[in-house]
Amino acid sequence: GAVVSQHPSWVICKSGTSVKIECRSLDFQATTMFWYRQFPKQSLMLMATSNEGSKATYEQGVEKDKFLINHASLTLSTLTVTSAHPEDSSFYICSARGSEASSYNEQFFGPGTRLTVL
Amino acid sequence: QKEVEQNSGPLSVPEGAIASLNCTYSDRVSQSFFWYRQYSGKSPELIMSIYSNGDKEDGRFTAQLNKASQYVSLLIRDSQPSDSATYLCAVTKAAGNKLTFGGGTRVLVKP
């Protein structure tokens, strides 16, 4: 149980294009999903928290217009990096958490998406 | 002072020995504590969670929590080369469910 998938696992794009990353909880309903990014040899940095059906809460310093998050259902959240630039190249990881009443009341991470912007 | 602190390592242990990892946290309202393992180039994998003082064992892993001293530790018994990874300590507060991560401890298990 507690499987979280991400798609794509890696993507290479040209500067100025937009990239959408999907995060799915496969065997439980995720009331909350989180998006992180991680640069080489650094720890995870939380970008935003999203609850199903409501707007995401962004961490300080994260541009909400650049990193669009949608959590339209209890099993799917998407992160769109708009007008990507080389400095956006990073490892993007989502995590999902079930409700407090469920057996999945912990954060389970997806496998990550490696984004390279040329 | 960082909210969650870990020794960055590397912690080098011989195969079959016990690896002992420590983590301290600064916020006393912290209530949930987690250990994640992260292999190079991969995402974190939850290996232990602990919510109350004392020890919690799961296979070769034992988590220990001492809220009065504000530390949580992880013991890995019979360490294997496959345990070589970075171990992340993470904490959540009662009011929300955001994880606050430590910087991670790199563990190297030598055959």
Q: Can you spell out the DSSP letters for A34-48?
A: EEEEE-TTS--EEEE
pLDDT higher than 80, residue A44: yes
**pLDDT number for residue A88:** 96
Do the bridges between strand B100-101 and strand B105-110 make them parallel or antiparallel, or are there none, so unpaired? unpaired
Chain B residues closer than 8 Å to A46 by CB: 98-99
CA A74/CA A104 separation, integer angstroms: 13
pLDDT of residue A51: 87
pLDDT of residue B55: 97
The B-side interface with A (CB below 8 A) comprises 34, 36, 42-46, 49, 88, 90, 97-99, 101-104
Residue B46 is nearest to which of A34, A49, A106, comparing CB atoms? A106
- pLDDT > 70 fraction of chain B, expressed in percent and rounded: 97
Mean pLDDT of all residues belonging to chain A: 91
Q: What is the largest CA-CA distance in chain B?
A: 44
Interface test with A, best of B43, B56, B100, B101 (most A CBs within 10 A): B43
Cβ–Cβ gap A107/B42 under 8 Å:
no
- Nearest CB to A109: which of B45, B49, B98? B45
Residue B104 with chain A: CB contacts under 8 Å:
43
Residues of B in contact with A93 (CB under 8 A): 43-44
- Which residue in this structure is represented by tokens 């609850």? A51
What pLDDT digit, counting tens, does each position of B11-49 carry?
999 999 999 999 999 988 888 999 999 999 999 999 999
Distances (CA, A) of A20 to A100, A113, B1, B26: 29, 10, 36, 37
| pLDDT of A18 over the 90 cut | yes
> What is the pLDDT, as a whole number, of residue B29?
85
Position A100 pLDDT exceeds 70: no
- Nearest by CB to B43, from A43, A97, A112: name it: A112
Whole-number pLDDT of residue A94:
97
For residue A60, pLDDT over 90 is answered with: yes
Query: Are B103 and A46 an interchain contact pair (Cβ–Cβ within 8 Å)?
Result: no
> Closest partner residue to A43 among B43, B49, B104, by Cβ?
B104
Residue B88, both tokens: 């992340």
Task: State both tokens at A27.
Answer: 């065997």
Alpha carbons B32 and A106: distance in angstroms, whole number: 9
CA distance B2 to B93: 15
Specify the pLDDT at position A106.
83
Mean pLDDT lowest among A47-51, A99-103, B66-70: A99-103
What is the residue-averaged pLDDT of chain B? 93
pLDDT at A2: 83
Six-digit token string for A16: 């100025």
Q: Which of A107, A108, A114, A116 to mutate to probe the B interface, most B CBs <10 Å? A: A107
Query: Residue A103's pLDDT band (boundaries 50, 70, 90)?
Result: low
Residue A90: closest C-alpha in chain B: B41
Find, in chain A, the residue whose alpha carbon is nearest to that of B87. Answer: A43
